[in-house]
A = this chain, B = another copy of it.
Amino acid sequence: MTETTDSQSPPAHAADRLIEAIERLAAPVCVGIDPVVERLPAVTESGKDPQIAAGAIRSFVLGLLDAAADCVPCVKFQSACFERYGHRGIAILEELIAEARQRNLQVILDAKRGDIGISADHYAAAVFDSAADRSPHWLTINSYLGEDGIQPFLREGRGAFALVRTSNPGGDALQRQKLADGRTIAECVAGMIAAIGRDFVGKSGYSALGAVVGATRSEDAAKLRKLMPQQIFLVPGYGAQGGGVQDVLPCFNVRGRGAIVTASRSVIYAFEKDRTDWQLSVTEAAKRFADEIGSAVGLR
């Protein structure tokens, strides 16, 4: 098989491409790549040296990509795990994004960037302006700064997932506050995202502006699903973070579409439980994850 690049493989719309990749594998799932050196399969004391640690993370992630590429359509890199190694970590992240793309994976960079006007332009350039085969398809962004903090990220062929409802306990303090009109703050943000996203809808019916909606409160998710019919939901909180199948179902529409569930630790550290061939453990965990969610939403 020849290498597939964007220029050869339509659709070029970020949402259409992601939906197509999900349906091809009947797997609305994403593996989160949040590596920490302490949990790698084979780390010695030398892992405490930052340069050696960064190298160990690089090798581990290359192994992960090989182990998961045939089972899932998408990976999500947690930028912080690479940023912590400074410019060396960023160089490794750039390389690994290219490696993921070579394996025909859709790539989300989870960096939760958010700034205004010209600074948002710079962040968009930072993420998307490198050679097309080395940059992610999607970026997570923070929507607290409003529309002018979001528009710069909506570039042709790329997409952004805006934070709407996060899965952490502290998220409630702000996001569930009630406005005078009865909506929660998260619902207010959802309305803004739906309105901005309307101009960026592809043939699939989904927008290149998606939404991050955590899996921990399914009643909130159901409301948000109604408020954002054209958004693909990126759903963290499954697996190690405590969410189960029932918690993520409300993020999907009635036809089992419109969301992609992400799990990290339960997949990438699967080898900790059985201690056999670590890549085999990861592959099996990724398959199990894809099967759990794919079956639950009726794609399998």
The residues of B that contact A192 with a CB separation of less than 8 Å are: 173-174
Q: Does A287 contact B (CB under 8 A)?
A: no
Are B123 and A83 in contact, with the CB atoms below 8 A?
A: yes
CB distance from A196 to the nearest CB of B (A): 10
CB pair A177–B166 under 8 Å, yes or no, is no
What are the residues of chain B within 8 A of A142 when measuring CB–CB? 112, 114, 142, 144
Contact at B83–A126, with CB atoms within 8 Å? yes
Q: Which residues of A contact B (CB under 8 A)?
A: 34, 36, 78, 80-81, 83-91, 94, 110, 112-120, 122-123, 125-126, 129-130, 142-150, 163, 166-175, 177-180, 182, 185, 188-189, 192
**Neighbour of A168 across the interface among B83, B126, B149, CB < 8 A:** B149
Complex contact A117–B179 (CB within 8 A): no
Given known contacts A177-B179, A178-B179, A145 and B163 CB-to-CB distance under 8 angstroms = yes
B123 pairs with A145, CB closer than 8 A: no
- Of B84, B144, B175, B185, the residue contacting A126 (CB under 8 A) is B84
> Could you write out 30 A-B pairs with CB less than 8 Å apart?
A36-B122, A78-B119, A80-B113, A80-B122, A80-B126, A83-B126, A84-B123, A84-B126, A84-B129, A86-B90, A86-B130, A116-B167, A116-B170, A116-B171, A142-B142, A143-B174, A144-B174, A145-B166, A145-B168, A146-B166, A146-B169, A146-B173, A146-B174, A146-B175, A148-B169, A148-B170, A149-B171, A174-B189, A179-B179, A179-B180
B122 touches A78 (CB 8 A): yes
**For A185, what are the chain B residues with a Cβ–Cβ distance below 8 Å?**
174, 177, 185
> A88 vs B90: C-alpha distance in the bound complex, in angstroms?
9
In the complex, chain B residues whose CB is within 8 Å of the CB of A87: 87-88, 90-91, 94
- Whether B188 lies near A171 (C-beta < 8 A) is no
Q: Which of A119, A166, A169 has the most CB of B within 10 A?
A: A119
| A178, closest chain B residue (CB) | B180
Residues of chain B within 8 A (CB-CB) of A80 are: 113, 115, 119-120, 122-123, 126
Q: For residue A89, which residues in chain B have a CB less than 8 angstroms away from its CB?
A: 126
| With contact pairs A80-B115, A168-B117 given, residues A188 and B179 touching in the complex (Cβ less than 8 Å) | no
A168 and B173 alpha carbons, distance in the complex (Å): 24
Pairwise interchain contact B113-A81, C-beta atoms closer than 8 A? no
Cross-chain contact B188 with A170 (CB below 8 angstroms): no
In whole Å, how far is A220's beta carbon from the nearest beta carbon of chain B? 14
A147 to chain B, nearest CB (A): 4
Query: Do A115 and B112 contact each other (CB < 8 Å), given the known contacts A83-B126, A172-B146?
Result: yes
